[in-house]
Amino acid sequence: MVGKVTTSAFGGEVSEFYQRFRRGYPPEVADELATAFALTRDDVVLDLGCGTGQLTRALAPRVGAVLGMDPEPAMLAQARRATAEPNVAWLLGADSDVAALPAALGPGRLAAVTVAQALHWMDHERLFAAVRPLLRPGGGIAVVTNGEPLWLQDTAWSAALRDVLSAYLGTPLHRTCGTDDASQERYANALAAAGYAVSSTVVEYSAPLSVEEIAGGVFSAMSPDQLPGLDARPEFTERIRAAVAPHGPVRERVRVRLLTGTR
């Protein structure tokens, strides 16, 4: 989220922007996870904090079933509408609900728990401990970050975007959403302390970004009360266009970081 977080931060129109403009994951990401946890078509995976299901859908062809779990009903509604895979189910719940899952699933039933671009919302130390009884031998937990926020990347166009957003919100932007090195190290140390064997890998790719995609990505990271009104959005988008235009066609270099802990 950009700036201050509010209740139902991903509700309403924000969930629509999230589904439409948040990047999905290249096949290599699911391949890396399948290798890390030796996933088969007999396995069940829980995608926690699944949002509108970008990673959930990427995992579906690799396993028997994927459970997408999120605390925001609007995000799950978008996920359901966007998903054709028959082996995906959606659960309303947060990281604090994971401890109750063994009663429903049975111990050792999950091959993996994935948390994509959402761990910064969670009590990660408690979560890592709660996940262990759910995992089969060789299973584990994966913390996945799908690149850095659009406004915090080390490029001229990102710096220009950051200036526009800082002016609009009236505050500097610093939230990294867990993508920074310090957060990754903190998560890795917590996984090791919880008894997991820790490893990491990176999948890199690049893709063009239109101004409309940049604006949509920004709107997907705002709370509903931060969104510009309908009448103000075209002007806001033009401000972004004017800011990034001097830096030529925008192409985002994305580093998908996969931090895994194996039981």
In a domain, 51, yes or no: yes
Confidence of residue 262 (pLDDT cuts 50, 70, 90): very high
Answer yes or no: are the C-beta atoms of 203 and 32 closer than 8 Å. Answer: yes
Specify the pLDDT at position 2: 55
In a domain, 155, yes or no: no
Report the C-alpha gap between 249 and 228 in whole angstroms: 25
Residue 94's domain spans which residues?
13-149+174-207+251-262
In a domain, 256, yes or no: yes
What whole-number percentage of the chain has pLDDT above 70?
A: 97
Confidence of residue 175 (pLDDT cuts 50, 70, 90): confident
pLDDT at 51 > cutoff 90: yes
Specify the pLDDT at position 5: 40
Q: What is the mean pLDDT of the chain?
A: 94
pLDDT at 98 > cutoff 90: yes
For 203-251, write each residue's pLDDT tens digit: 999 999 999 999 999 999 999 999 999 999 999 999 999 999 999 999 9
In a domain, 137, yes or no: yes
As for how many domains the chain has, the answer is: 1
Q: Taking residues 44-71, what's their average pLDDT? A: 97
Report the C-alpha gap between 160 and 147 in whole angstroms: 18
In a domain, 29, yes or no: yes
Torsion of CA 257, 116, 114, 83, to 10 degrees: -120
Structure tokens at 140: 């584990």
Report the C-alpha gap between 68 and 60 in whole angstroms: 10
SS (HEC) of the chain: CCCCCCCCCCCCHHHHHHHHHCCCCCHHHHHHHHHHCCCCCCCEEEEECCCCCHHHHHHHHHCCEEEEEECCHHHHHHHHHHCCCCCEEEEECCHHHHHHHHHHHCCCCEEEEEEECCHHHCCHHHHHHHHHHHEEEEEEEEEEEECCCHHHCCCHHHHHHHHHHHHHHCCCCCCCCCCCHHHHHHHHHHHHHCCCEEEEEEEEEEEEECHHHHHHHHHHCCCCCCCCCCCCHHHHHHHHHHHHHHHCCEEEEEEEEEEEEEC
Q: Taking residues 155-184, what's their average pLDDT? A: 93
In a domain, 131, yes or no: yes
Specify the pLDDT at position 100: 87
Bridge-based pairing of strands 135-146 and 250-262 is: antiparallel
In a domain, 4, yes or no: no
Torsion of CA 113, 118, 120, 124, to 10 degrees: -10
CATH classification at residue 123: 3.40.50.150
Q: Taking residues 83-94, what's their average pLDDT? A: 96
In a domain, 102, yes or no: yes
Report the C-alpha gap between 91 and 185 in whole angstroms: 30
> Taking the mean position of all CA atoms in its chain, how far away is CA 140?
18
